[in-house]
Chains A and B, each alone.
Chain A
Amino acid sequence: MAQLSNEDILKLARLARLGVTDEEVEEYKTELNAILGYVDLLADVDVTGLEPTSQVTGLTNVTRPDIVKQYDYQTSDLLKNVPNVENNLIKVKRMIG
């Protein structure tokens, strides 16, 4: 049965790129442990011979023609929500080095 520690919560927050404050860590730990305790219900369920479901439509390999379509958008429409734009480019922090 899962029993997350404070370190576990901080690790999860890091993996998910979520900032959490020290008070929040305690709160989330309690809540997550309660939820994970509930879902532990599945631990003893017998699933012999069954495959996991990934989608329920039964569709496979849905394709469309690889052709270029003209859309009515200006670059400015598409960039209007970007927090930091420079020269029509999306500006981000340095990733390498």
Chain B
Amino acid sequence: MAWDSIATIASKVKAGEITATDLVEQSLKTISDKSSFNAIIATVEDRARERAAQIDAAIAAGEPVGRLAGVPFIAKDNFLVFGGETTAASNILRGFEAPYQSTAINRLEAEGAICVAKANLDAFAHGSSTENSDFFTTQNPHDETRVPGGSSGGSAASVVLDLAPFALGTDTGGSIRLPASFTGCVGYKPTYGLVSRSGVVAMASSTDVIGPITKSVEDAAIVLDVMAGKDELDSTTIEKDGQGYVIDNQGLLSGKKVGVIKEYMGEGLNPAVKENITKAIEAMKAAGAEVSEVSLPSLPLALAVYYIVCPAEVSSNLSRYDGQRYGHAKQDAADLNDSYTGSREVGFGKEAKRRIMIGTYVLSSGYYDAYYRKAQTVRTKLINEFAAAFEQYDVLVGPTAPDIAFKIGENAEDPLQMYLTDIMTVAVNLVGVPAVSIPAGTVDDMPVGFQIIGKQRSDRELLALAAQTEAIL
């Protein structure tokens, strides 16, 4: 059963037409009915029901409730949430119960939204398919033999399967946009720093971003509006836009300068997918946008930069999982080193270990300059090229992914092949600009995602323009 828009649900709850309890039950029942897709790791049903009851009581008593009162949602299992475990889909965090919640969750709860379940992901968000989950793989809702994308595969599948009106994901190299593209929903990656990372399991701290996954751009804007803004607990957060992000006027496409990224439209892009992307671009043109091709010559280097910088930061961020203060601990260790090593050997999956080792290598003495420092400098080149492009264009567009969702197991044996899935998403993370993937038809009955990229801190304009584009596709 499909959900209404978030705004409609919230107003129905406030008007007493439906109760928060009913909505939570609807969500939990759908989760149970669609369990074969394995989108969910665990529900947080007790707490969800408790909070729904509190909200219903407040409404009955005529007390004020939040903007999202009664709206159920699903959080990727790298968000610290009360009422259940937070595992990041890793064996090393099995059984971990968060002693505090992420700021994003707190802000949503302050407005009355209710977290009902934790979604599956690639362990520690390392992956593009959700196959790296230490627990199980999630199936693509359109084709059970295919992946939903990753790492927020469970979150995207949840939205498409109508488990809840919205889900939260994280995007470090494309992990919100890619699964949105593969499953056919909206995945929004905000400007780096717009949403606090406090209480979200860290992957690569200089690119990690939190964002909404929804059925519509309008819904994504509402969720972002609630979560966004400075947080004392995360010193890399930036100010929220003074006018907020809720779409109150459809951004007019007429006169907007749209740059089609040449490097994303060439070799490596499935020609059938290219057709869908071209159609989307033509639609923007027909609506009055001024479209032309733009080249960012350093883009072919972005994936290499990412696969140095990201593992380096991962190796640092995952050093905290040492079996001493939380997480899996080796029992009867011989000494401290055995305690560290033994805990980490069993707790981490292969991809986590791969990334830790690459990261350790590129940061180690003798290699730091040639790899990490060099990559961070090429990153500056990318930042400059994007900045120059945004002097000429309002937005840049292209596909989100080189192809439709691949088959489960197809890329599992070749890590490098798997990394190539991210080829059109990583540059945006390195540069820190916002981007969104919206559905643009299908190829062989599988969804295709159209990517729209805005300049730094232009989230309000980007969302408005994306909503307008969504309406004409």
Contacts and interface: CB of A to CB of B under 8 A. Distances in A.
**What bracket does the count of chain A residues touching chain B fall in?**
35 or more
A72 B430 CA distance: 38
B353 interface: yes
Given A19-B345, A93-B339, A59 B238 contact: yes
Contact of B325 (A9, A47, A82): A82
A39 B371 contact: yes
A45 B378 contact: yes
Contacts of B375: 39, 42
Interface string B349-366: 000011011101100100
Contacts of B303: 38
Contact of B432 (A45, A56, A78): A56
B305 interface: yes
B75 to A, nearest CB: 19
A13 B319 CA distance: 12
By size class, the interface of chain B is 35 or more
A73 B379 CA distance: 42
Contacts of A93: 333, 335-336, 338-339
Interface in A20-69: 20, 28, 31-32, 34-36, 38-43, 45, 47, 50-57, 59, 62, 64
B22 interface: no
B357 A81 contact: no
A19 B338 CA distance: 9
A9 B357 contact: yes
A54 B312 CA distance: 12
Contact of A90 (B315, B325, B333, B431): B325
A20 B380 contact: no
Contacts of A83: 323-324, 326-327, 329
Contact of B340 (A17, A31, A38, A80): A17
A84 B356 CA distance: 26
A82 B358 contact: no
A4 B322 CA distance: 26
B99 A80 contact: yes
Interface string B98-113: 0110000000000000
B285 to A, nearest CB: 31
B348 A81 contact: no
Contacts of A55: 206, 236
B336 A95 contact: yes
A81 B360 contact: no
Nearest to B233: A64
A75 B98 CA distance: 14
Given A39-B304, A42-B301, A16 B357 contact: yes
B416 interface: yes
B301 A41 contact: yes
A56 B374 CA distance: 17
B380 A57 contact: no
A82 B27 CA distance: 33
A78 B381 contact: no
A30 to B, nearest CB: 10
Nearest to B431: A56
12 contacts: A16-B357, A38-B303, A41-B301, A42-B304, A42-B378, A50-B377, A53-B383, A56-B431, A80-B99, A81-B95, A81-B325, A83-B323
A-B interface, 4 closest residue pairs, ranked by CB to CB distance from nearest: A19-B345, A56-B432, A83-B329, A52-B376
